[in-house]
Amino acid sequence: MKLLLKFDFTKVCNTVLKQKLEAHQFNYQQTAFGEIELMDKVSEEQLKLFHEDINSFGIEVVEDPKKIVIQKIKDVIVDMVFNEKDINVKTSVYLSEQLEENYNYLSNLFSEMTYTSIENFIILQKIEYTKILLTNEDLSLTEIAFKLNYSSVAHLSKQFKNTTGITPSAFQRIIAKRKQIN
């Protein structure tokens, strides 16, 4: 039997972190998505065990200052796309406000460290979310385009094809065939 699952990535990450922090008996406060402040002093050994524990879930503690900023940029973008934040300002302004940094600095650092642009990362996240919506939801491409703030279905379709190599319709047909087989 095959089950199709839908994920709320933010909720999953927060739940795993909460369980692991409590299992290690850390007194903590979550200050932002992906950012935890430990309220008490902990030993190097406790931190090492915690790092090993969360690594099994693909979560790692970031220590390089540049990598921290990159991770924060990614976290804000993923939260913005997957949680369908209704943002009434440009993404550049939103990122600058959320991270309290100049957008040019954020953009240049992101490109330098990831070899891609913030805009491209946003597109990739939107396409990933589109694939999830096409697979797990009963939404039309028009509804998905509207939900993800695309100017048109044609714009979403073009970005989808440029990113995946196939059209959204072809993707839907492939998913429908897989569901029939299983």
pLDDT in tens, the chain (182 residues): 677 777 777 788 888 889 999 999 999 888 876 778 888 898 889 989 998 989 888 888 877 889 889 999 999 999 889 886 677 778 899 999 999 999 999 999 999 999 999 999 999 999 999 999 998 878 889 999 998 889 999 999 999 999 999 999 999 888 888 877 76
Predicted confidence at residue 96, as pLDDT, reads: 95
The amino acid at 128: E
The CATH number of domain 121-181, selected from 3.40.50.1970, 1.10.10.60, 3.40.1410.10, 1.10.3720.10: 1.10.10.60
- Estimate to the nearest angstrom the gap between the alpha carbon of 56 and the chain centroid: 19
- Closest C-alpha to 12, from 34, 32, 31: 34
pTM over 0.75: no
Contacts of 38 (CB under 8 A, 6+ apart): 26, 27, 28
Domain ranges of the chain: 1-61, 63-115, 121-181
Given a contact cutoff of 8 angstroms between Cβ atoms, the answer to whether 82 and 130 are in contact is: no
How far apart are alpha carbons 181 and 127 in whole angstroms? 25
